[in-house]
Amino acid sequence: MSTDQLNELPATEIVQKIATGSISAEAVTQACLDRISAREDAVKAWAYIDPAYALTQARILDDTTNKGPLHGLPIGVKDVIDTSDMPTQMQSSAYEDHQPKTDAACVAILRAAGAVILGKTVTCEFAGSFPGPTTNPHNPSHTPGGSSSGSGAAVADYMVHGAFGTQTGGSVLRPASFCGTVGYKPTYNLINRSGLMFAAENLDTIGLLTRTIDDADLLMSVLLNRPRSEVLPGDAIPKIGLCRTHHWESALPETIAALDDSVERLTIAGAEIVDIALPSSFADLSAARNALNDFERSRVMADLWQNEPDHLSDNIAKQLENGTSMEFATYQNAVILANDSRAQLDTVFGDVDFILAPSATGEAPEGLSYTGDPQFQGCWTILHVPTISLPTHLGPNELPVGIQLVGRRWRDETLLSWSRWVVDKLGTWR
């Protein structure tokens, strides 16, 4: 394989080849930088990147005999997560050239394992809804989703082998579905959040965008100091709960087709599929998530709202105004509903191994001013369960359409194992 193809290999293969000495960290980093040079003007995935510094990191690693489990692997970091050697600017003029003194915990762990921190990926403003310049790599007139826009686009376009995202509503899974990558949101707070600019502390979850499930599992094994998740035997047969959720009326034909096709083919593969109806009270979870988001965000950003409002977009200003004026009882009731709903999850899951649900309403919408509807992701985010978007289908405009698998809280490895099984049966869109 020529060095200009190294950016296309899975992360698991990259670290194996570097470990055996068949390729160098510098060659892999250069391949990613070459791709960025060729495509960044169109995709606009990066908020900050210094090619010379990235190569310096790689060369230092090549001169090191002690190789970590991620030795030489290029990683992108969403620009709301601190990096000690690169600015963290939140896609906001209020944080222009802001330079943290330390790495966020998740960055520090990957760096210690030998990863090359390639650069900072574009985020919507403060991981909210006001988009940055990033385009969908498969059609630049369509959104890449948000708020982990740059991470989803960079991974999908072979600019980097994996990237951190964050999810407060649907900010990991929606870019994954729209851009055609794996998007994994772990159980709430499973990845340590030290060094993350909070949006809403009862919702924010650091997640991953990768091209394969094995790549996500590799990064999680390092972040959590755990073994890789189990590869299930070929004769394993799951019981799957099909949950269209209370938002099914928002599903576009391509999402309906993706779910119907998945059900048909997984049934042929031997899976038992049962319908799951959520309790009626779960219909209010989206409104509760919005209340948590606005109330908590208004506290996180109180200083900016009071002293530098001119730096804020109309989108986020409206959220801060809503949160600042919100009565505490409204917030309290949202927290209570969320807790009560989580207490019902064992009953919701019953005896199924995982839940199959829509990942997004459909293909990536046309235009860059709107990053898509977060309802199909947000209802699971507030429940604190692990979820994953798998890049299995293609829509009518030749854009990716993902499916979402949902696991039980703290059973992330089980979800990853069954996700491999599903991809093995369905394949991916490309």
Give the model confidence (pLDDT) of 332-384 as tens digits: 999 999 999 999 999 999 999 999 999 999 999 999 999 999 999 999 999 99
Cα(274)–Cα(276) distance, integer angstroms: 6
Q: Is the pLDDT of residue 76 over 70?
A: yes
3-state SS, residue 374: coil
Yes or no: say if 146 and 174 are a contact pair by the CB < 8 Å rule.
yes
Q: In this structure, which amino acid lies at residue 144?
A: P
Mean pLDDT of 56-67: 96
Q: What is the mean pLDDT of residues 159-184?
A: 98
Helix (H, G, I), strand (E, B) or coil at 207: strand
pLDDT-based confidence at 85, cuts 50/70/90? very high
- Catalytic: 147? yes
pLDDT of residue 383: 98
pLDDT at 427 over 80: yes
Is 92 labeled as catalytic in the residue annotation?
A: no
Per-residue confidence band for 3, with pLDDT thresholds at 50, 70 and 90: low
Active-site hit among 17, 44, 67, 78 = 78
Share of the chain above pLDDT 90, in %: 98
In the predicted model, is pLDDT for residue 317 greater than 90?
yes
How far is 139 from 364, CA to CA, in rounded Å? 9
Domains of the chain: 3-224 (3.90.1300.10)
Whether the predicted pLDDT of 180 surpasses 90 = yes
Cβ proximity of 299 and 322 under 8 Å: no
To the query of whether residue 120 is one of the catalytic residues in this protein, the response is: no
pTM given for the model: 0.98
Could you say which of 129, 171, 262, 389 is catalytic? Answer: 171
* Average pLDDT of the chain, as a whole number: 97
Q: Give residue-wise pLDDT tens across range 221-249.
A: 999 999 999 999 878 999 999 999 999 99
For residue 234, the model assigns a pLDDT of: 78
Q: Tell me which of 147, 151, 262, 359 is the catalytic residue.
A: 147
Has residue 4 got a pLDDT over 80?
no
- Tell me the torsion sign for CA atoms 10, 388, 92, 107: negative
In the structure, what pLDDT confidence band is assigned to residue 252 with cuts at 50, 70 and 90? very high
Can you tell me the mean pLDDT for 147-176?
A: 98
Parallel/antiparallel/unpaired status of strands 162-167 and 354-358: unpaired
Q: Which of 427, 13, 387, 78 is nearest to 218 (CA)?
A: 13
CA distance 388 to 52: 34
